Structure 1
Amino acid sequence: MSLSIIPLWIGWPQVVLIAVVVLLLFGGKKIPELMKGLGSGLKEFKDASKENDSTSKAKEKE
């Protein structure tokens, strides 16, 4: 299957449409909570990857 069959262009109208759908599904009060959860998840992921890098470097030195 070729990727040229599926157009992957996302313009401003599509972004606005997605934002409106998300706002309708979750409501204005729920979106900040979702973003806070997403931000904390990304922070934990970055911390874990940094921790993994430091342990692998320590093993290389041994």
Structure 2
Amino acid sequence: MAATVIPLFISGAEIAFILFIVLMVFGADKVPEIARGLGKGMRQIKDATNDIKTEITKSAEKQGIDMDITKDVRKEIDKVKEEVKDVAGSVKRKF
């Protein structure tokens, strides 16, 4: 049985409402710290993904494994990286 994927679309008004709630809960002085922390977290995820990809490639080359197999993994990783960039880009534009 295949899982159904429901895309998550958030409008500008919903983002503004979420930002308003964040501002009310944490205060104006904490929002830049939260955004900075989110940015650092996203960077760590990106770095970890690149490290894993490098290690997989190195191991495959040492073991003589056909790199066509790892190309599929690389494509999936690139897709995730692009999705993360899209989300991070929209967050950066809002702050």
Task: Provide the TM-score with structure 1 as the length reference.
Answer: 0.75
C-alpha separation in 2, matches of 1:10 and 1:47: 27
3-state secondary structure, aligned to 1:28: coil
Shift of 1:48: 0.7
Name 2:28's counterpart in structure 1: 28
Q: Deviations over 1:16-56 (max 9, x none)?
A: 22221111001000000001111111111111110110010
Aligned length: 56
Which amino acid is the alignment partner of residue 55 of structure 2? Answer: T
Name 1:46's counterpart in structure 2: 46
Q: 1:10 to 1:48 in 2, by over 3 A?
A: closer
> 5+ residue gaps in structure 1?
1-7
Which aligned segments of 4 or more residues in structure 1 are displaced greater than 2 angstroms?
8-16
C-alpha separation in 1, matches of 2:26 and 2:56: 41
C-alpha separation in 2, matches of 1:36 and 1:50: 21
- Alpha-carbon RMSD: 1.9
Give aligned-pair identity as a percent: 31
Shift of 1:9: 5.9
